[in-house]
Structure 1
């Protein structure tokens, strides 16, 4: 649609109609305007899956690898395919706007949301993020680059003021967002935090450089609850306040425009951008304002990419409300379990589901990083294996995704144990031992240990009650973790009932989480009755991780106990409730000794260690990089008992590995998504190469704090984060940015570069390398620049380009690596412009930020000379 047509549509609206469009109708749904053919658009969290409007375990989602795992592939084509899968999921669930990718940087490994961001490097982050955006938007769904800008940690994230100098802001933290705009992103999310004194929903950075210099023509949407003023945010280039309703931008904004405090032209620009977004996602049809809502644009053979809902799941409801009192729907007291309006979507045909799973399985292997492989232990030879020990708390129940708002309920989950058992069925015996247990958040009841007392079905009965205690809604649920326990306008409380069947004799902790008044009855006896006061306004805590109250009871295996938990809703406390039960485990020497004895009797041991949701999640940063519990002790003990030990680290970001030089093989699986076990088995057994390279440096300490002082977080390190910072340190990190071994070996044999590059011009580097291994393989050729003699503040070296190389054993390949003009430039705070410092730059090529066997000198100047071939 042309700009003139958008202008005409805006002119047809009154001020009240225009302002109405600038806030959400609900938590996830934007407002419609039938008079101009605008249908309501729906937003949903990403980036590893599309949840849809509701948060319901019966409406599952394909679950992709974490952002760190995607970036570890250094494979833009693959990430673009994953973006296409996200688009197909969004279309299937009626979602127009996916709140991803997250383009903030790994400023510190302590960042709690590290897993949701790609990398410590702005170029890698920008290129991977742009690929994700292209994949999503090719499917007719909007991607949202977030969180603009400097939202690189979680401590005091709603209020902190990041103090960042102009050069650092431009060269590091803004660079991935500029790449997103160049890729044509349709939405950008403003962050909660402030930058240099202005909260981002009111920041001048939304206008310049985002909408001005960069030419962003899409919508700036707030982070949820990020608009906290009327006039300052409306006068800024903030376009949409979510969630809705938001009174600051409704009657108050109309009054501010009429009083001349906010120009109506600014309102018009915001509405025009919303209409452009609606046009792009197929939600605007001025020719038929009264017609039915059209499906989302675009199509794909993988359009529906999830399993069918469980029996009893009904048609999609209109919204996910922050509290029952804001819902537009209700159910009668006669509703039976399973009759509720839970958000659901069309099932995927078997062949489409198979194709989606194959892509996700391939992605697991592509992002897995082989840190160490002494003696060529990997890949394992199945013909030489008779008995394998699989050990560790994350082996039988892998953590496939990080915690927080990005989480989804997966279609299915394949654990490392299941993946290896399936791959080695009939060939080798695979035996499991946990070794140690991890203290974690309480485990919600599920269909494996609970029954609905009304129907007898595996699961739980959830009832919404009115002020008199009468049931106004009931439904059957499959888990005790209920971010949204149904909807009914008259409800003032939720009740969760279940018959718990303990799996073991002994003490059990029965837990109930929620805000407000919480009560728990066990076999008719009131065990908990407490008022839990809200002590935070962070949405991740309020709506996802309310505090637990627990009681310890002695239970008998197989003897059911009836649990009744009630929570009375309080204003502003959301509706999230969690009913959980856990046996009290004694993590003593017996469990570890059993694992060690198992390892001693096996040909090979695979130990899977990792983090928990208490360590890596939204809403808080990490206090340290240590693995929780006795996992380090477990690794060392198993390795001493079984010389052929492979350690798999299941975490979203760096952890300290004090044993990493004591075991022959170490793999990083990140949070690998639902096909975790299949992809890991492919790597271990050689069906696929571990294709990953580190997108961030793995160190044993964090160089920079994430904790603000008096509300201010100073980015005093400037341009030197990640590998750039470690290059200035006397000690080396455990593993450098870009490192990863694969199963082939490579010799770098030649480098061809221009002698000179004109200011503002890109150049092409040609790197010749040979596969010296016994297998075909894929290498990631990395090119870095440095400026030994400079009058400008610069890192020691910085990533300038990368490209894949593929060759058969003994084969030679020449790879072209594009180096953009920006790689030679710096941002001048004095000139407020990109500038090129003329003179000699050193160009280095190799396989990591420190393994760079090839180098050449390139002069930045006016005259371009002939290529020069540099031999190692």
Structure 2
């Protein structure tokens, strides 16, 4: 061809453009150009399109740690706790502005896998254990994002409910559970919000990789649901060339092509593959058009990113963080009175835990700790503090400058230099001339020992590493490197060493070389350097002594992004370290104790009966301390309701009772979903267990009365919708919010069904004494189950109960609804 570059009009004729492309150019569109960008073809005016992580903030094109600053929003489970689709839509619109500032037209979000187990490593990224709550929130998030011109990418499609062996394991899911639980949120978001992109999961589904599963991508997603957007793989999750193209996967990420390196030759020799290449190319160009990138190409260079911090974004994050906090217990101690002295203690007191780990992490504009938030709210003189104990999984990373020198080999000349802002480096870009798969790096930094004593150093790395302190070898993660749980499974476990240091500055030097990883991502290298003093043995007693001197004690405990992270599942349900001991000691010293819990999911609480108040604060984003202070002092309502059942012990987890190996975490390359539909509150109902806190639970600083449940009709015909109406009154002395929840029970079903299922909800904000009528629709799909033998959704004629209340175990109002004739909706 002899075409010359031209400027395409805003309305692009995709077919005509595809006709102008050679087969080689069409193939080039089907894998990324690099880690974050699609391929540009300037000859015919096709610009590059930039994508960015992630659900709780837009990191841009930089590394997962230490990159461009950006706004950090509440994590998924914190947003799920709001039960507020309007807020999620607002969050989506705000994130779109952040994406455009980073030159990105696609946000790799939201994460909408249903919570199956309490041990999912990405629990914190997802919204809920219930598909309807998840779906409605995801619909709003996607609408807010795409209404502002940025593509959403709901993920991970499908069956990615744990991180154990996620790159290869087969999720073997019964058809009914697949349809009713795990596909339902994706179906809702595709049908109602029309996302412009979808990301496939790493795992297999019934033995076939999701990224090349024709039933999942073509039969269900495109054929049955009518999806007309782009399907991309998760990073490194493409496993074939022509097979994945023919199966419906449009885009391999990241680039350059790895699995699709031989696609051109395959397409040249197979007409079916060539035809599929054209269709996949159409999807890529359609996404470029939908994001407005043809009409207004963005500057997608990482150097062009902006890190603007908007005041209204700060305010939104603070408000959303507070609205997602769940008041689990309150014996009248909250809100805290103004003017009282407060001791803020615990490992999460002075350290702001604002996000989880993995691809969802970012370099936040701010990290406001609970200590900072309470001091700003109350005055520094009235707030004392102590650490008490740590909750570290790994040694803390020193936030000090790190100088890196690159050589082609050890002892060779320095070929490049660069500086990083902290002692953890994840390479996604390299200085010019550096081969990401073959270099020798030397990282040098200085750490400060405040006093003479014993100190710990550590290394964890995706690659080989070894550490020297003041020239003396200390940590060897080189000669006996072993794969572990860090860096999405491509890194080692942490290796530690101890050294007695004099007070003052000490030089740390780390050597690093890349490693080769099966199923890895070429050029993905990382190293984490840890450093801290040996914890003092009397720290818990010291914290209790500080608490004894104050009017109130606020104990800030939980986890952090090392424990709650992509790539590895949660450690269990017991809080790590001496945190439970700390709560007991502080409570003994000061009975006016409030526990602020920051985790990504449920934990055991052996001190629950004795503590006057407990607030589940999750990871609420960069304004964490301000949002926590707002709730503790009553300046904001604790508006959250649990989106996940808090079980009392791990034996109550639905994935554990039957076969703990194959059912969770899996064995022999497969994980069997033997519990079927019996997850979350459904499992509570079926098994008769008593949860620590039920699904949908949450207290307020006021009280509410739900009454006068009515249905628009007592009998409904096939294909019709009935409306439930209920009155809600604020019977307390202050403004507040509650969530009205509607569940449906099938009284006589041919197939076994859960005792009840959430089908509708509404968040209500009321002034004292105010009454509002809430309207909730109930349609055919709300009455139906999936009949796998008939391959159809079926609602059987007969009687149903409509239950309404304020949690899954608080449903005092029930009305009978009759379906006069059978209803059926066929599927593929």
CA offset at residue 4 of structure 1?
A: 8.8
State whether residues 58 and 95 of structure 2, in contact with CA within 8 Å, keep that contact through their aligned partners in structure 1.
Answer: yes
Contact 1:283–1:294, Cα closer than 8 Å, also in 2: yes
- Give runs of aligned pairs for residues 237-252 of structure 1, distance below 5 A: 237-250=248-261, 252=262
CA spacing shift, 1:245–1:165, aligned 2, 3 Å: same
Match of 1:783 in 2: 742
Equivalent position SS for 1:501? strand
**What are the within-5 Å matches in structure 2 for residues 91-170 of structure 1?**
91-170=100-179
Residues in 1 aligned to 2:486 and 2:218: alpha-carbon distance in whole angstroms: 27
Taking a change above 3 Å as real, the CA distance of residues 550 and 113 of structure 1, as seen in their structure-2 partners, is same
Maintained 8 Å contact 1:760/1:836: no
Matched, 1:737 2:679: no
Counterpart for residue 59 of structure 1: 68
User: How many Å separate the matches in 2 of 1:125 and 1:831?
Assistant: 27
Task: String of CA shifts for 1:588-611, please: whole Å, max 9, x gaps.
Answer: 3x2111222222222111111102
Does residue 395 of structure 1 match 2:406?
Answer: no
Please, which of 611, 619, 644 is the counterpart of residue 592 of structure 2? Answer: 644
In structure 2, distance between residues paired with 1:187 and 1:256? 26
Q: 2:5 — aligned with what?
A: none
2:416 pairs with 465, 473, 477, which one? 473
Q: How many Å separate the matches in 2 of 1:131 and 1:358?
A: 20
Match of 1:26, SS state, is coil
CA distance in 2, matches of 1:393, 1:381: 24
**1:244-283 pair list within 5 angstroms:** 244-250=255-261, 252-260=262-270, 262-283=272-293
Closer/same/farther in 2, CA of residues 825 and 524 from structure 1, 3 Å limit = same
Compared CA separation, residues 528 and 138, structure 1 to 2 (3 A): same
Q: Say which is worse superposed, 79-88 or 607-616, in terms of deviation.
A: 607-616
CA distance in 2, matches of 1:533, 1:220: 40
Shift of 1:542: 5.6
Which residue of the other structure, out of 19, 26, 29, is the alignment partner of 1:18?
26
1:363 aligned onto 2:320: yes
Could you say which residue in structure 2 is the equivalent of 1:345?
305
2:44 corresponds to 1:36 = yes
Residue aligning to 1:326 = none
Name the structure 2 match of 1:378.
334
- Alignment CA distance shift 1:389-1:836 (3 Å): same
Does the CA-based 8 Å contact 1:150-1:162 persist in structure 2?
Answer: yes
- Seen in structure 2, the aligned counterparts of structure 1 residues 547 and 716 have a Cα distance that, compared at 3 Å, is closer
Shift of 1:197: 2.1
| Contact 1:690–1:743, Cα closer than 8 Å, also in 2 | yes
Q: Does 1:749 align with 2:707?
A: yes
- Structure 2 partner of 1:69: 78
In the TM superposition, residue 516 of structure 1 has moved relative to its aligned partner by 4.1
Local SS of the residue matching 1:683:
helix
Contact 2:32 2:257 in 1 (8 A): yes
Distance 1:133 1:192, change over 3 A: same
1:832 Cα deviation after fit? 1.1
CA distance in 1, matches of 2:177, 2:767: 42
| Structure 1 residues 539 and 170, CA gap change in structure 2 (3 angstroms) | farther
Measured on the aligned residues, the alpha-carbon RMSD in Å equals 2.2
Q: 2:488 aligns with which of 538, 541, 548?
A: 541
What is the TM-score normalised by the length of structure 1? 0.87
Q: Deviations over 1:720-754 (max 9, x none)?
A: 11000011123210100000111110111211112
Query: For residues 422 and 256 of structure 1, what CA distance do their matches in structure 2 show?
Result: 64
CA contact (8 A) 1:47 1:101 kept: yes
| Pairing 1:821-840 to 2, within 5 Å after superposition | 821-840=780-799
C-alpha contact (below 8 Å) 2:486/2:492 kept by paired residues: no
What is the rounded CA distance, in whole Å, between the counterparts of 2:487 and 2:354 in structure 1?
A: 19
Contact 2:464 2:512 in 1 (8 A): yes
Report the alpha carbon displacement of residue 825 of structure 1 after superposing the two structures with TM. Answer: 1.4
CA contact (8 A) 2:103 2:304 kept: no
Residues 378 and 470 (structure 1 numbering): CA distance in 2 closer, same or farther, change over 3 Å? same
Q: After TM superposition, list the pairs within 5 Å mapping 1:345-494 onto structure 2.
A: 345-348=305-308, 353-374=310-331, 376-383=332-339, 385=340, 387-425=341-379, 429-447=382-400, 459-467=401-409, 469-484=412-427, 486-490=430-434, 492-494=439-441
Unaligned runs of 5+ in 2: 1-8, 517-521, 657-663, 824-828
CA contact (8 A) 1:546 1:576 kept: no
Question: Using a 3 Å threshold, how does the CA distance of structure 1 residues 684 and 604 change in structure 2: closer, same or farther?
Answer: same
CA distance in structure 1 between the partners assigned to 2:507 and 2:699 by the alignment: 53
User: How far does residue 87 in structure 1 lie from its aligned partner after superposition?
Assistant: 0.9
Alignment of 1:180-195 (within 5 A): 180-182=189-191, 183-195=193-205
1:500 is the counterpart of 2:509:
no
Pick aligned residue for 1:295 from 290, 293, 298: 298
CA 1:262/1:3 → structure 2, altered by over 3 Å: closer, same or farther? farther
1:821-847 CA-to-partner distances (Å, cap 9, x unmatched) read 311111121221222111111001110
* In the alignment, structure 1 residue 844 sits paired with structure 2 residue 810: no
Cα distance in 2 between the residues matched to 1:517 and 1:152:
31
On the 8 A contact 1:515/1:534 being kept in 2, the answer is no
The alpha-carbon distance between structure 1 residues 774 and 70, as it changes in their structure 2 partners (threshold 3 A), is same
User: In the alignment, which residue of structure 1 is the partner of 2:294?
Assistant: 284
Pairwise CA distance, 1:862: 5.4
Question: 2:738 & 2:123 partners in 1: Cα distance?
Answer: 25
Q: Is the 8 A contact 2:233 2:252 kept in 1?
A: yes
- Deviation string for 1:219-265 (max 9, x for gaps)? 11001111112232122011111111224323x22222233274322
1:333 corresponding residue in structure 2:
none
Name the residue aligned to 2:6: none
With over 3 angstroms needed to count, the CA separation of the structure-2 counterparts of 1:205 and 1:530, relative to structure 1, is closer
**Partner residue, 1:334:** none
Distance 2:815 2:95 in 1: 42
* C-alpha contact 1:231 1:262 (8 A) present in aligned 2: no
SS of 2:363's partner is coil
CA distance 1:138–1:11, change in 2 (3 Å): same
Structure 2 counterpart SS, 1:65 = coil
Alignment partner of 1:171 is 2:180: yes
- The Cα of 1:712 is off from its aligned counterpart by 1.5
For 1:656 and 1:759, locate their aligned partners in 2 and report how far apart those are by CA, in whole Å. 45
Asked if structure 2 preserves the Cα contact closer than 8 Å seen for 1:380 and 1:686, the reply is: yes
1:386-785 equivalences in 2 (<5 Å): 387-425=341-379, 429-447=382-400, 459-467=401-409, 469-484=412-427, 486-490=430-434, 492-528=439-475, 531=478, 536=483, 540-541=487-488, 545-557=491-503, 559-571=504-516, 572=522, 574-586=524-536, 588=537, 590-700=538-648, 701=650, 702-705=653-656, 706-753=664-711, 754-785=713-744
Distance 1:192 1:789, change over 3 A: same
Q: Return closer, same or farther for 1:11/1:793 CA change in 2, 3 Å cut-off.
A: farther
Q: CA distance change for structure 1 residues 163 and 408 in 2, over 3 Å: closer, same or farther?
A: same
Please give the secondary structure, in 2, of the residue aligned with 1:693. Answer: coil
Q: Deviations over 1:465-519 (max 9, x none)?
A: 2336322322332211111274332351222112222223211122333344423
Deviates more, 1:561-570 or 1:160-169: 561-570
Give the counterpart of 2:232 among 221, 227, 235. 221
**Counterpart-to-counterpart distance in 2, 1:150 and 1:514:** 29
Instruction: After the TM superposition, list the runs of 4 or more consecutive aligned residues in structure 1 that deviate by more than 4 angstroms.
Output: 1-4, 532-539
SS at 1:277 equivalent? helix
Runs (5+) with no aligned partner, structure 1 = 286-292, 297-315, 319-342, 448-458, 865-872
Distance 1:164 1:651, change over 3 A: same
Q: Secondary structure, in 3 states, of the residue corresponding to 2:245?
A: helix
Residue in 1 that maps onto 2:826 = none
